[in-house]
Amino acid sequence: MTEVKREVFGQMPREEGGGMVEKFILKSDSVKVEILSLGCIIATLETKGRDGEFSDVVLGFDTLEGYTRKHPFFGTVVGRVANRIAKGRFSVDGKEYQLFLNNGPNSLHGGARGFDKVLWSPQVLPNGVCFFRLSPDGEEGYPGDLKVWVTYTLSGGELAINYRAQTSKTTPINLTNHAYFNLAGQGSRDIYDHEISIEADSYLPVDDTKIPTGEVAAVQGTSFDLRQPVELGKHLQKFHLDGFDHNFCLQQVQARRLVARARHPLTGRAMEVHTTQPGIQFYTGNNLDGSLKGKGAIAYPKHAAFCLETQNWPDAVNKLHFPNALLRPGEEYNHTTWLVFSAA
């Protein structure tokens, strides 16, 4: 059985439009997750280790104030389009659209005020919570009134995140959750002792602004071959890598499949990622630098966490040979990702 509770988390500042932020607590025997109505943020995710003790394995803040200030999308749902759009530009049906540039020369994670920075309308479910919002035509430069539903449900050790959307005009869409994980427990120094594997035969090389070049490259014989588990610290050292921030190309099927696994041998905690999405962005917290203090006033240094963001490929709206990024009126965008936590 999953227990669902709701409580007030805080009040948005007046300059952010005010409004009450609620926290929804989903609890099973093995997982406890706290989700905010601001940005559908996973603020806490506690899971058992081999010793039976719970530990919070996601980065974030103790108070609302942390989330209303600038932060690197801790736990948020990002959209309308997660990841990068080159030069913030795309064309739909012959019309060109220009987005706000918030990542060097590119647009990232929905723009200046994306889905991560707005209040969503919650509805409590027997085993979770469903958040809804209407993104109006022209918001952040995107066409069409977009209705979006993000549903979190917890069953035992499995947290499911379902994304649905419908639009009044053809629009690009790409939704994901940007949780930062450290299975040793948030606030642990780094993720070097984690074992990571990703079920991908190819990945997308990027230019120096992190935009895919268009090549779909084989992982075979490269540092991107993560089909067998690697110990992250040793792997980064061996290949002289600063870290990962790349899209791995998954099997192009709309069915649920296992795409990635992370394991922390010391605590026995493991997380499997299953999804219907065509890609997964593996990011190792390269831009964390210790300047942000999170829960318990702990500083988050470089490589303090990893993200496994299931999504469409970056800049897919501008690359015709990438999976389709457009949602048309009358269609429904519908993707699910399952995070399965265990300890052994």
Q: Which domains does the chain have, with CATH numbers?
A: 3-343 (2.70.98.10)
- Residue 16, pLDDT > 90, answer no
Predicted TM-score (pTM) of the model is: 0.97
Query: Which uninterrupted H or E stretch holds 236?
Result: helix 232-238
Q: What does the pLDDT look like over 260-269, one tens digit per residue?
A: 999 999 999 9
What number is the average pLDDT over the span 102-119? 94
Please choose, from the candidates 80, 124, 55, the residue with its C-alpha nearest in 3D space to the C-alpha of residue 264: 55
Q: pLDDT band for position 217 (50/70/90)?
A: very high
Residue 178 annotated to the active site? yes
d(C-alpha 86, C-alpha 318), whole Å: 8
Q: Is 115 helix (H, G, I), strand (E, B) or coil?
A: helix
Which residue ranges are tagged as binding site for beta-D-galactose? 83-84, 178-180, 245
Average pLDDT over residues 186-202: 98
Cα 213 to Cα 37: distance, rounded to the nearest angstrom: 36
Active-site annotation holder among 22, 272, 309, 335: 309
Q: Active site residue: 34, 46, 109, 178, which one? A: 178
What is the average pLDDT value for the chain, to the nearest integer? 97
Give the separation between CA 137 and CA 139, rounded to whole angstroms. Answer: 6
Residue 265, SS3?
Answer: coil
Which pLDDT belongs to residue 254?
85
Binding-site residue set? 83-84, 178-180, 245
